[in-house]
Amino acid sequence: MFSRLSYTFREMWASLRRNLTLTVAAVITSSVSLLLFGLTLLIQRGFDNQLSQWSGGVELIVYIENDASPEQIELVRGALEKTPDVIDTSKLEYLDIAQSLVEAQRLFAGDPETLQLLTEKNIPTQFKVVPTPDATPELLTQLALGFDELPKVIQVAFPSDQIEVLATLRGFIGLRLYLITGFLLLSAVLLIWNTIRTAMFARRREIEVMKLVGATNWFIRLPFMLEGLLQGLVGGVVASGAMLLFNANWTSGVKKFPSESGFGAFVVTGSYPMWIVFWIVVLGMLVGAIGSGTAASRFLDV
Amino acid sequence: MIKLENVTKSYSTEVTALRDASFDVAKAEFVFLVGPSGSGKSTLLRLMNRQEKPEKGAVWVAGRNINDMPDTKVPHLRRNIGNIFQDYKLLSNKTVFENVAFALEVIGRPKHVIRQQVPAVLDLVGLAGKQERFPHQLSGGEQQRVSIARAFVNRPLILLADEPTGNLDPTTGEGIMRLLDRINKTGTTVVMATHDQRIVNMMRKRVIQLDRGIIVRDQARGVYE
Ligand SMILES: Nc1ncnc2c1ncn2[C@@H]1O[C@H](COP(=O)(O)OP(=O)(O)O)[C@@H](O)[C@H]1O
Ligand SMILES: [Mg+2]
């Protein structure tokens, strides 16, 4: 058992060194493609955070003072439900203090000072309003003017033009980045495949002897498969490091933006970056395994 | 030990390398396969360790029909069959010791077994003092002895030799022949393809003669003709 393990690792290492140029090319390509994959996830998440307030077709938010009584809140709800032809009452949602605090954490992730000022004693609660499909913007605006007059209503907010732009951008960027990422990942697979094929060709005489003396196919393949797996893994680790660095730089950069820039929530914090690291590494190993696995099976008949 | 039943093997529609070959090789027997170049000797040897599969007929080795054997069992079959070639097939970047040890290492034999068996077999083939040399530092005859050591180190039941003296001068070839004879006397079945008349006539062993893929003679204590 031990001699098999030491054989496998020794051969893998020797082969990596012999093939240094190709190995480096394969690792770089997988790093770059995995980094792009990670950045795509980050950007999507940034959009989601920035847009989270307005997700689910919300086009109107009615902010209510923190100290409003239940009766006062019900009064607002009643007013909103009075126009079912404009407002989709089944999707009408009220975020209480706790829910509004959770949302604020995403919204002000890039602006910790503002976030600190918000407490359960002062955060406004809110009604999220989804209009019916045939409600025109004019009707909605007209309606909103009326709500301003109700007691304890602080403000009726519409999505800014910037939000509309961001929502469009998100759709535009997302699919295209995934496509580019896909092509880059494919080229990483092909490069690893080629590296392994070259490594096996360089050692075809050894492989021939191994087969003749009765080494199993798995024994012959294993060092090559591990070699490819390692290339993918190293690519994943490098990409993860670069992605975390990117994210840290961006997050600290956003903090310096003016608070009305509209990008305050365009950051990714918490455990999500570590999830991306996990997926980058898994994907990297998958890329390595697919590339080397197909090569090792295909070129064993030397 | 080896049994062929009506074996036919063709590589393409034009070339039939072997046609309807049948014979039996007993345990510890020594058999020469003779015939001109292209008559099918190598093909016959390759059929015996599943490097090739026949279109028709059956090949039995140690009581098993090896053509029905699943691919995953083939390595275990080959651990019982040693192979020797005209061009030695040694690994040039490994020493004599490493070349022989390689055969044990890649079938997962532990280190202490390797340390014990490799010097023993090198001693047997007469290369005791040359363990640390590389193949290019050896004569042709010595290189062939390394390859015999590698084929025999795992004590196989059968040794298949494809023109092992083909690249050697007559005296050196004779030495190799005597070594194979000695290995055969330990109970190992040996099948050797050759077109070296002198050696066949000297040994007076069983001779199976091929001509364009057909067995034309199978004679005990035969000569080359
Ligand atoms: N791998 C192969 N592909 C196609 N034809 C082959 C192959 N190996 C051998 N042959 C043909 O089969 C015939 C027998 O070859 P071989 O068994 O090598 O004969 P020998 O060893 O007696 O010289 C020859 O006609 C040869 O050209
Ligand atoms: Mg031949």
Q: What do you get for the CA distance between the two ends of chain B, in Å?
A: 27
Closest CA to B173 of B141, B201, B142, B126: B141
- List all residues of chain B from 96 to 125 with a beta carbon under 8 Å from chain A: 102-103, 105-111, 114
Residue ranges covered by each domain of chain A:
2-54+163-298, 59-158
**Mean pLDDT of each 10-residue bin along chain A, 302 residues long:** 75 82 91 93 85 78 87 86 83 87 82 81 88 80 80 81 79 87 92 91 91 93 92 96 93 78 74 92 95 87 54
* Mean pLDDT across B71-86: 95
The residue whose CA is least distant from atom 21 of ligand 1 is: B42
Residue B13 in contact with ligand 1 by CB distance below 6 A: no
**What string of DSSP letters covers chain B?**
-EEEEEEEEESSSS-EEEEEEEEEE-TT-EEEEE-STTSSHHHHHHHHTTSS--SEEEEEETTEETTSS-GGGHHHHHTTEEEEETT----TTS-HHHHHHHHHHTTT--HHHHHHHHHHHHHHTT-GGGTT--GGGS-HHHHHHHHHHHHHTT--SEEEEESTTTTS-HHHHHHHHHHHHHHHHTT-EEEEE---HHHHHHH--EEEEEETTEEEEEETT----
- Predicted confidence band of residue B222 (pLDDT cuts 50, 70, 90): confident
What pLDDT is attached to residue A259? 66
- Could you give the CA distance from residue B10 to residue A298 in angstroms, rounded to a whole number? 24
Among the partner residues B79, B102, B110, nearest to A214 by beta-carbon distance: B79
Amino acid at B161: A
Q: B154 vs A213: CB contact, 8 Å cut-off?
A: yes
**The pLDDT value given to residue B52:** 93
Tens of pLDDT, residue by residue over B18-27, are 999 999 999 9
Q: How far off is chain B from A31, nearest CA to CA, in Å?
A: 34
CA distance A231 to A20: 11
CA distances to A145, A263, B30, B70 from A259, rounded to whole Å, are 27, 8, 93, 71
Q: What is the pLDDT of residue B146?
A: 97
Which residues does residue A212 pair with via DSSP β-bridges, in sequence order? none
Q: What is the pLDDT of residue A140?
A: 80
pLDDT value, residue A153: 84
- Residues in chain A closer than 8 A to B150 (CB atoms): 213
Which of B76, B106, B117 to mutate: most A Cβ within 10 Å? B106
Q: Which of B9, B43, B83, B214 to mutate to test the pocket of ligand 1 (most atoms within 8 A of CB)?
A: B43
* Ligand 1 neighbourhood includes B86 CB (under 6 angstroms): no
Q: What is the radius of gyration, based on Cα positions, of chain B?
A: 17
Per-residue pLDDT for B71 more than 60? Answer: yes
Atom of ligand 1 nearest to the CA of B43: 17
Query: pLDDT value at position A119?
Result: 87
Residue pointed to by tokens 């690893």: A192
Considering only A139-148, B4-13, B79-88, which range has the smallest mean pLDDT? Answer: A139-148
CA distance A212 to B48: 12
Average pLDDT value for chain B: 94
Find the range with the poorest average confidence among A32-36, A175-179, B96-100, B185-189: A175-179
Predicted local distance difference test score (pLDDT) of residue B203: 92
* Gap between the Cα atoms of A240 and A234, Å rounded: 10
Atom of ligand 1 nearest to the CA of B36: 22
Give yes or no for a contact between B61 and B4, defined as CB atoms under 8 angstroms apart.
no
B38 C-alpha vs ligand 2 centroid, how far in Å? 7
Residue B34: phi, psi to the nearest 5?
A: -120, 165
Measure CA B115 to chain center: 25
- The answer to whether the CB of B144 is under 6 A from ligand 1 is no
Q: Measure CA A236 to chain center.
A: 15
Burial class of residue A46 (count of CB atoms within 10 Å of its CB; 0-12, 13-18, 19+)? buried
CB contact under 8 A, B106 and A215: yes
Measure the CA–CA gap between A89 and A135, rounded to whole angstroms.
13
Closest to A89 in 3D by CA, of A53, A60, A125, A50: A60
Residue B107 near ligand 1, beta carbon < 6 Å: no
Which residues of chain A from 199 to 258 reach within 8 Å of chain B, CB to CB? 205-206, 208-217, 219-220
CA distance B151 to chain A (A): 8
C-alpha B43 – ligand 1 centre gap (Å): 6
Nearest to B103 among A213, A216, A220 (CB): A213
Classify burial at A256, counting beta carbons within 10 Å of its beta carbon; exposed 0-12, middle 13-18, buried 19 or more: exposed
Residues 6+ apart with CB under 8 A from A97: A66, A120, A123, A125
Residues contacting B224, CB < 8 A, separation 6+: B34, B195, B197, B200, B201, B207
Chain B within 8 Å of A17 (Cβ-Cβ)?
A: no
Which residues of A fall within a CB distance of 8 Å from B75?
211, 214-217
Q: Is B36 in the pocket of ligand 1 (CB under 6 A)?
A: no
**Mean pLDDT within B162-173:** 94
Query: What is the separation of C-alpha A56 from the centre of its chain, rounded to a whole number of angstroms?
Result: 19
CB contact under 8 Å between A216 and B110, yes or no, is no
Interface touch B108/A214, C-beta < 8 Å: no
CATH of A59-158 given 3.40.50.970, 3.30.70.3040, 3.40.630.30, 3.40.50.2000: 3.30.70.3040
Of A122-136, A155-169, B85-99, B166-180, least confident by mean pLDDT is A155-169
> Cβ B72–A3 below 8 Å, yes or no?
no
Q: What angle do CA A160, A165, A169 make, to 5 degrees?
A: 150
The shortest C-alpha distance from B33 to chain A (Å) reads: 20
Residues of B in contact with A214 (CB under 8 A): 75-80, 107, 154
Q: What is the pLDDT of residue A137?
A: 77
